[in-house]
Amino acid sequence: MCATMALNRFRYPHFTRTLTDFALLKYRSKHEGSARCLHACSSPTMSLIPIVLDKTTHGERAFDIYSRLLKDRIICLMGPINDEIAGLVVAQLLYLQSEDKKVPIHIYINSPGGVVTAGLAIYDTMQFIKPPVATWCVGQASSMGSLLLAAGAPGLRFALPHSRIMVHQPSGSAHGEFVYGAKLLQARLLI
């Protein structure tokens, strides 16, 4: 609501702008320090989420751009993958499956990678749902982002001409009696 008021205040005459500025100030002071205000009320350093108008037979309706894209079964995965982003993407995938189980879902990826468990939550959901998932690399798909790009349905994995994909060697460690036993066995075979 706060971002919508901030964007719409330029469409109205001076009197309405003054009222909107007052309501915006009141809203910010009421929700001071809350996560909702921090997300919705942008400062000069934070970017605004564009609002688009959708015309229907019932009139016009304003959507933030991501909600409008979701209506067209498009999910944007932009930035590092963490638990919060994974939760949003998983919820969007499940919602789109509940809407239609046959129409493909498109995920646009521009990510440097991120938390493995968060990325695997998205991966597992992509494999679990019924609709085919098309993946598009825009910008970069590195590390976990490249795994999600490869998780798209066969024949529905795309990369734009100037995008970059980076796959690195798996990393990890193992320890315990089995590992030490295998190393001991290898040493005995050398002797």
- Return the active site residues: 143, 168
As a whole number of angstroms, the distance between CA 188 and CA 183 comes to 9
Contact between residue 148 and residue 123 where contact means Cβ atoms under 8 Å apart? yes
Q: Show Cβ contacts of residue 67 under 8 Å, excluding neighbours closer than 6 positions.
A: none
DSSP 8-state code for residue 9: G
Helix axes 83-99, 116-128, angle to 10 degrees: 10
Cβ atoms of 131 and 104 closer than 8 Å: yes
CA 88 to chain centre: 7
